[in-house]
C-alpha cells in the first residue's frame, strides 16, 4: 500500500521515535512523579495548541474563545462519568463530540466574518459560555466545580494517553497542512472569494476544520478533568485559558505545523516556573513576548529557528516554509 502524497517518512519517523522514547521514560528512566505529571500536562497542552492552530493558523481565524470548547468537553465528560458511570474514554469521546457540535453551532454563522470581527465574536461566545455554565450548577457544580472519583494508578495511564493524544494532534496537523485539503485551506485564508471562484467550498471546509478543532479541544478538556479529578468553570472556561492557546500559537508560530507544539512546551515550562516564584507575572511576560513576536518575527519560534538555520547554510524545501 502506498502512503498518501502528503506523507513524509522522515518527520514521521522522528515524531514516532520521540513518542516511543517518551512512553518508555517512566518505567525505564524512573522519572519522578512530578516530572511525569508535568510531561502529561505538556502533552495535552500540545494537542490543544495544535487544535487551536487549525483554525487560527490554517484558516487565519484567531479564536479568543476556545476555552469554551475545552471546558464544555471537560464538563460533559465529567458529568457523564459521575452520573452515568460511563467509562473514561467513552466519556472523553462524548465530551469531544459535544464540544465539536457546539463549535459548529456558534462557529458556522460567525466564520463568515473575517479578520477581527470573528475574534471579537469569539470573545463574546467564550464569556457567555462561562457565565451560563457557572450559573447552570446542576450540570457544572457552579463556581465550586465538581470532583471525579479518585482512582489509583490513573496518572501513569494518563501519561501514555497524553502521548497518544499529542501524536494524533501532530498527525492531524500534518494532514491538514500537506494534503490537497491543506492547499484549499490556504486558498481560503488568502482570499475567500477567490477560493470560491476556483470551486473550493469554503463553508464546508471551514465548518469541517472548526468541528475538528472543537472535537480535539473537547477531548483535551475531558483529559484535563480526568487528570485533576476535578473540574470547575471559572478557570477552565475563563478568558485567560482562551488566550493561553493564542499565546502558544503566536509564540510558536501561527500557521506552522509544529510551531504551536513548541509554543505549548515553552508555555508550560515558563508558567510552571513563574507560578511558584512570581505568580501572575507570567501574563505580563507573555504580553512582552506577544509584542516582540508580532513586531519582529511573525512566525514566532519557528521563524526564528528557520532564520538561524539559514544562517548556517540550511535550505528548506519550498513546501516546508510555513
Restricted to residues 79-118, the positions that interact with another protein (CB under 8 A) are 106, 109-110, 112-117
Q: Is 299 near another protein (CB under 8 A)?
A: no
Name the residue among 198, 179, 208, 217 with its Cα closest to residue 74: 217
# residues contacting another protein (CB under 8 A): 71
Q: Is 279 near another protein (CB under 8 A)?
A: yes
CB of 66 to another protein, least distance (A): 15
What's the rounded Cα separation, in Å, for the pair 109 and 203?
10
Q: Is 157 near another protein (CB under 8 A)?
A: no
Cβ proximity to another protein: between 121 and 174 the closer is 121
What's the rounded Cα separation, in Å, for the pair 179 and 170?
14
Residue numbers 223-262 binding another protein by CB under 8 A = 228-230, 232, 234-236, 239, 243, 246, 250
Q: State the alpha helices, DSSP H only, in the chain.
A: 9-24, 33-53, 66-83, 88-110, 116-135, 137-140, 154-178, 180-190, 192-197, 202-228, 233-236, 239-252, 259-277, 282-296, 300-311
Evaluated on CA atoms 164, 212, 267, 38, the torsion sign reads negative
Residue numbers 166-225 binding another protein by CB under 8 A = none
Q: Is 150 near another protein (CB under 8 A)?
A: yes
Cβ proximity to another protein: between 17 and 279 the closer is 279
Cell 465550586: give the residue: 144
Contact assessment for residue 63 and residue 122, using Cβ atoms and an 8 Å cutoff: yes
CB of 45 to another protein, least distance (A): 12
Considering only the stretches 120-128, 165-173, 212-220, 312-320, report the one whose residues sit in contact with another protein under the rule CB under 8 A.
Answer: 120-128
Using CB under 8 A, which of 284, 307, 309, 316 touches another protein? Answer: 284
Using CB under 8 A, which of 14, 164, 194, 281 touches another protein? Answer: 281
Cβ proximity to another protein: between 8 and 155 the closer is 155
CB of 156 to another protein, least distance (A): 12
Q: Is 164 near another protein (CB under 8 A)?
A: no
Q: Is 280 near another protein (CB under 8 A)?
A: yes
**Exposed / middle / buried, residue 86 (Cβ in 10 Å: 0-12, 13-18, 19+):** middle
Q: Is 143 near another protein (CB under 8 A)?
A: yes
**Exposed / middle / buried, residue 291 (Cβ in 10 Å: 0-12, 13-18, 19+):** exposed
Cβ proximity to another protein: between 60 and 178 the closer is 60
Name the residue among 192, 213, 190, 191 with its Cα closest to residue 202: 192
* CA distances for 152 relative to 16, 22, 227, angstroms: 29, 22, 12
Cβ proximity to another protein: between 281 and 309 the closer is 281
Using CB under 8 A, which of 91, 121, 176, 299 touches another protein? Answer: 121
What's the rounded Cα separation, in Å, for the pair 72 and 147?
16
Question: Looking only at Cα atoms, what is the longest distance across the chain?
Answer: 60
Considering only the stretches 130-138, 179-187, 210-218, 314-322, report the one whose residues sit in contact with another protein under the rule CB under 8 A.
Answer: 130-138
Residue numbers 45-64 binding another protein by CB under 8 A = 60, 62
Cβ proximity to another protein: between 65 and 174 the closer is 65
Name the residue among 200, 209, 207 with its Cα closest to residue 177: 209
CB of 34 to another protein, least distance (A): 4
DSSP 315: -
Considering only the stretches 167-175, 212-220, 292-300, 301-309, report the one whose residues sit in contact with another protein under the rule CB under 8 A.
Answer: 292-300
Using CB under 8 A, which of 289, 299, 301, 306 touches another protein? Answer: 289
> Which residues have C-beta within 8 Å of that of residue 258, sequence separation ≥ 6?
170, 173, 252, 302
Amino acid at each position: 500500500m502506498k502512503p498518501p502524497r502528503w506523507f513524509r517518512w522522515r518527520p514521521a519517523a522522528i515524531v514516532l521515535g520521540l513518542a516511543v522514547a517518551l512512553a518508555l521514560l517512566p518505567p525505564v528512566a524512573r522519572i519522578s512523579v512530578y516530572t511525569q505529571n508535568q510531561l502529561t500536562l505538556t502533552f495535552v497542552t500540545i494537542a490543544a495548541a495544535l487544535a487551536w492552530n487549525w483554525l487560527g493558523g490554517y484558516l487565519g481565524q484567531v479564536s479568543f474563545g476556545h476555552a469554551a470548547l475545552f471546558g464544555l468537553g471537560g464538563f460533559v465528560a465529567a458529568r457523564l462519568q459521575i452520573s452515568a458511570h460511563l467509562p473514561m474514554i467513552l466519556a472523553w469521546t462524548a465530551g469531544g463530540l459535544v464540544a465539536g457540535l457546539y463549535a459548529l453551532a456558534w462557529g458556522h454563522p460567525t466564520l463568515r466574518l473575517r479578520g477581527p470581527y470573528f475574534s471579537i465574536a469569539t470573545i463574546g461566545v467564550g464569556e457567555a459560555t462561562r457565565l451560563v455554565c457557572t450559573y447552570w450548577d446542576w450540570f457544572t457544580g457552579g463556581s465550586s466545580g465538581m470532583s471525579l472519583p479518585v482512582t489509583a494508578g490513573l496518572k501513569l495511564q494518563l501519561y501514555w494517553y497524553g502521548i497518544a493524544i499529542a501524536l494524533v494532534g501532530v498527525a492531524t496537523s500534518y494532514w491538514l497542512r500537506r494534503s490537497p485539503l491543506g492547499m484549499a485551506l490556504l486558498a481560503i485564508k488568502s482570499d475567500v472569494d477567490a477560493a470560491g471562484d476556483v470551486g473550493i467550498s469554503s463553508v464546508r471546509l471551514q465548518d469541517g476544520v472548526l468541528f475538528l478543532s472543537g472535537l480535539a479541544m473537547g477531548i483535551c478538556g475531558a483529559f484535563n478533568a480526568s487528570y485533576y479529578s476535578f473540574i470547575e468553570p471559572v478557570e477552565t472556561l475563563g478568558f485567560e485559558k482562551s488566550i493561553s492557546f493564542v499565546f502558544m500559537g503566536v509564540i510558536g508560530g501561527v500557521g506552522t505545523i509544529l510551531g504551536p507544539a513548541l509554543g505549548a512546551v515553552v508555555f508550560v515550562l515558563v508558567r510552571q516556573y513563574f507560578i511558584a516564584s512570581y505568580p501572575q507575572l507570567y501574563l505580563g511576560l507573555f504580553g512582552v513576548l506577544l509584542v516582540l513576536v508580532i513586531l519582529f518575527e511573525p512566525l514566532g519560534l519557528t521563524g526564528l529557528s528557520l532564520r538561524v538555520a539559514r544562517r548556517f547554510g540550511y535550505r528548506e524545501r519550498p513546501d516546508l516554509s510555513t
